[in-house]
Amino acid sequence: MSLRRIASALNLSITTISRALAGHSDVSEETRQKIVDEAKRIGYVPNEMARRLQNGRANAIGFVVPADPGADASSIFLQHIRGIWSRLERETLDLLVMAASSGCDELSHYRRLVEGRRVDGMIVSSPRQTDERIDYLLQTRFPFVVIGHDRSRDTAVMSVETDFSAAMRMAVQRLRDFGHRAVACVESEATDASDDRFEAFRAACLESGIQGVELSVDDTIAAGVATTANLMQHPVAPTALVCKSAKLAFDVFQSLQSRGLAAGRDLSIICLEDSPLLRACEPGITVVSQSADKLAYQATDTLLQMRGGLEPKRLFVQPELTAGNTDGPPGGISSRPV
Amino acid sequence: MSLRRIASALNLSITTISRALAGHSDVSEETRQKIVDEAKRIGYVPNEMARRLQNGRANAIGFVVPADPGADASSIFLQHIRGIWSRLERETLDLLVMAASSGCDELSHYRRLVEGRRVDGMIVSSPRQTDERIDYLLQTRFPFVVIGHDRSRDTAVMSVETDFSAAMRMAVQRLRDFGHRAVACVESEATDASDDRFEAFRAACLESGIQGVELSVDDTIAAGVATTANLMQHPVAPTALVCKSAKLAFDVFQSLQSRGLAAGRDLSIICLEDSPLLRACEPGITVVSQSADKLAYQATDTLLQMRGGLEPKRLFVQPELTAGNTDGPPGGISSRPV
DNA sequence: TTGAAAGCGTTACCAC
DNA sequence: GTGGTAACGCTTTCAA
């Protein structure tokens, strides 16, 4: 209804209007100008649906946020959305978002997007050990990029992830430079049951000449309290703590406060995962990580490049330091009264 | 390419296939069954773009999340997205999400969605006093629903909001029932510069026979510290605090902890805004509010009803109590050592 | 440099 | 009950 309108107003063919507006070279400068003017005058905006039907692309990519409530204290997915969008907006592509609980219906949501050709590609966040979503996408040969890493399929999937070993090295070195000699690293048992969970930590300690203490806590109950208690009675008496997850760092931070201890003074804390949760804290928690939105931006950029055929590979993004006030020269948590 | 495929496989017309699959009554049961079977066999999924072009609807609604970083410690927008989606999924409608900073380009993003007919309606969150987005949508007569309230246009826009007065009453009554006699209410100066900011609080206090203390703090600097200090030296010595925003409640909570005081024991805290931030706290903060996802669900439902022509009005949702551990019998913050 | 026509996959309006 | 035909608004191929 709209190209036609310009066409009849100017006594030109629809074809010419289309080509002029698309910037093709085979339109005389004079008519092109007339067309552009008229289009602007009537406020022409092309009908996306017609365009999409015609060239068989959805001009959109999909993103699924987990719907499990409570799982999002870190609100990392909102940052993902921002990151994806910031790459998408220059291309005039749309971002379709769905929410799905990891249960039964999640896969059917993926099918709907993929098979209904509603999106041209997908961004998948927080992969799980055995991930039916990824299996499905691989099997249908649909373009997608994973944010974060999926151990089980090293080569087959395209992924964008923070260089975790580098982050660990940066954190441990920073603590060493502050004067710490013994550093603990904590992670929740549930998150990641692999064998080499502390591998990067060990390597970093070795490199920095630091004595490393490995802690594993159950995520379901008060993880922060458990960690703090563990540290206070630990024979090695670590003066600093590296947390793998934001929630864990936050919990420990709170647990310290409720004991009248202060992060940064009594115990240095560095977190390897970014989250608005940590920035809301007072004092701010030191983070060594790549921000979630940059990661998502990178993933989206990679997805767009995949149109030109790109071999799947793991893409490592270097972490950055966001200095807070929770790390500094060693204090000593176990020397304090409880 | 696909209806056609079924048609030629069964030696029927495309029309019949379409009607059979759409569930029209004018297809014989026998052929309908054959068609459905064949469709299932080849895994037929209709092409959404063709469908949308045909019936002139986008089958999608739009939502814009603010891109201003840091503004989202509460991650309320993710909950909005979940709420919107939970209403949308049964209808097989899509959710388009954009991120925009409240600056220059925000409006152009709205234009793109509306004028490119990419969405049939919009959900607008956190309206501002003078909101060009709302002006634009009103002026183009585009269907939209606002989550939260916009004072300046009481009648013209459809909005879904928590019944704030009711929430305030619930909070104050609850504190009175715990035995509190003097309660403070705090809000940040920036959020809402209207005259009747404490109106609901005053009414609730009057109703419950409580002495009310009104506090206003500057949001830009350590609001929690300021609030706590203010309370400790206040002549009335309130034993409980009602916070209008989640960030404020969180800040006060932290400020108490860092002084060795405990929310719930030394000072009762009730927050009137829900947020994952509050649930991450240990102990959990008591909230009287409607959850963000329910509000968004309601807004979406209303938006869908607007297709049937619905007069714009303010829709009030009743708040619910999420009991935490930050409120109880009066303790007394000012009687404690600093 | 321009235009006519076909086609993208679907639905709706008729006629049979 | 069923099938042809047009239409949704655009892009592309091929002729002129």
B131 vs A164, higher pLDDT: A164
Which of B46, B96, B254 faces A281 most closely, judged by CB atoms? B254
- Alpha-carbon distance of B9 to B19, in angstroms, equals 16
The integer distance in angstroms from the CA atom of B146 to the C1' atom of D9 is 32
What value does the mean pLDDT take over residues B110-130? 85
Q: Does pLDDT of B338 surpass 50? A: no
Q: Does pLDDT of A9 surpass 50? A: yes
Nucleotide nearest to B28 (CA to C1'): D1
A14 touches strand D (CB under 7 A): yes
What pLDDT does residue B123 have? 95
- Alpha-carbon distance of A61 to A92, in angstroms, equals 11
What value does the mean pLDDT take over residues A84-104? 86
Å between B257 CA and nearest CA of chain A: 6
Nucleotide nearest to B26 (CA to C1'): D1
Contacts of residue A111, Cβ cutoff 8 Å, sequence gap at least 6: A136, B45
Q: Does pLDDT of A84 surpass 80? A: yes
B148 vs A170, higher pLDDT: A170
What pLDDT does residue B336 have? 47
Q: Contact B118/A94, CB-based, under 8 Å?
A: yes
The token pair that represents B264 in the structure block: 């719930």
Q: Contact A47/B117, CB-based, under 8 Å?
A: yes
A199 vs A171, higher pLDDT: A171
pTM here is 0.88
Q: Which amino acid is at B337?
A: P
Average pLDDT over all residues of chain B: 86
What value does the mean pLDDT take over residues A266-271? 93
| Residues A233 and A299: beta-carbon distance below 8 Å | no
Angle of helix B292-305 relative to helix B76-88, nearest 10 degrees, comes to 40
Rg (CA), chain A: 26
Å between B133 CA and nearest CA of chain A: 18
Q: How confident is residue B192, by pLDDT bands cut at 50, 70 and 90?
A: low
pLDDT tens readout for residues A128-182? 667 788 888 988 889 999 998 766 666 778 999 889 899 999 999 999 999 999 9
CA-CA distances (angstroms) from residue A231 to A182, A206, A285, A316, B325?
A: 11, 21, 19, 32, 26
| Distance from chain centroid for Cα A304 | 17
With beta carbons under 8 A apart, name residues in chain B contacting A81: 65, 97, 99
CA-CA distances (angstroms) from residue A84 to A47, B50, B109, B124, B126?
A: 24, 26, 15, 20, 22
Average pLDDT over all residues of chain A: 86
- For testing the chain B interface, which of A68, A82, A117, A261 should be mutated: the one with the most B CBs within 10 Å? A82
What value does the mean pLDDT take over residues B74-97? 88
Å between B45 CA and nearest CA of chain A: 6
pLDDT tens readout for residues A234-263? 888 899 999 988 888 988 898 888 888 888
Percent of chain A with pLDDT over 70: 89
- For testing the chain A interface, which of B97, B271, B336 should be mutated: the one with the most A CBs within 10 Å? B97
With beta carbons under 8 A apart, name residues in chain A contacting B77: 78
A102 touches strand C (CB under 7 A): no
| Residues A253 and A224: beta-carbon distance below 8 Å | yes
Strands B286-289 and B320-322: antiparallel
- Alpha-carbon distance of A155 to B64, in angstroms, equals 36
Q: Pick the residue from chain B with its C-alpha nearest to A81.
A: B99
What pLDDT does residue A337 have? 47
- Alpha-carbon distance of A219 to B65, in angstroms, equals 31
What pLDDT does residue A220 have? 63
Q: Does pLDDT of A101 surpass 90? A: no
What pLDDT does residue A77 have? 87
**By mean pLDDT, which of A31-40, A191-200, B15-24, B262-271 is the weakest?**
A191-200
> Which domains are delineated in chain A?
2-46 (1.10.260.40), 60-162+292-318 (3.40.50.2300), 164-291+322-335 (3.40.50.2300)
Q: Does pLDDT of A201 surpass 50? A: yes
Nucleotides of C under 7 A from a protein CB: 1-5, 7-13
What pLDDT does residue A338 have? 43
The integer distance in angstroms from the CA atom of B25 to the C1' atom of C10 is 19
Q: Does pLDDT of A194 surpass 80? A: no
B309 vs B321, higher pLDDT: B321
What value does the mean pLDDT take over residues B152-176? 89
A27 touches strand C (CB under 7 A): yes
